[in-house]
Amino acid sequence: MKYSLLCGLAALTLMASCDKKKDTTCVAGTGGKVAIVTFAKHNGVTIPNYESHSDTAYVKFNTLTSPGTNPSAYDTYFVGEAGEDHIHCEDLKCGSYYIYRTAFDSATNTRYSGGIGINVTQTTGEVDTAIAVN
């Protein structure tokens, strides 16, 4: 009986002292092979990039919540190419991102903005994301 109790106590002590290793395989940042492709949509309609009004995607690493609208609060940014209806946020790793997106609508002469949190689990390829802008 004492032997069983002693073995049980030893097992509990070993289990309590074991640290669960943190999963560090998906830490957001640059240097990866993922592209998040963002489409700015106002009232369900995608807004294209215009040469005279560059649309921008501001990216914050390791969060799904907005750090606000100040560009300096973000870790990096990507600028759209004129004539395309999206912005490629390239060379990223898997992980959590918050993307704040601006877009200029030439029909209403208005700059819109909006954001979204996204968790990327893949390590290569593209992830298409629609971002509602108002």
Are 39 and 130 contacting, i.e. CB atoms less than 8 angstroms apart? yes
Distance CA 36, CA 23 (A): 22
CATH of domain 26-132: 2.60.40.10
pLDDT in tens, 34-73: 999 999 999 999 999 998 888 999 999 999 999 999 999 9
Q: Which of 35, 5, 10 is nearest to 118 (CA)?
A: 35
Specify the pTM.
Answer: 0.82
**What is the percent of the chain with per-residue pLDDT over 90, rounded to a whole number?**
77
Give the pLDDT band (50/70/90) at residue 8.
Answer: very low
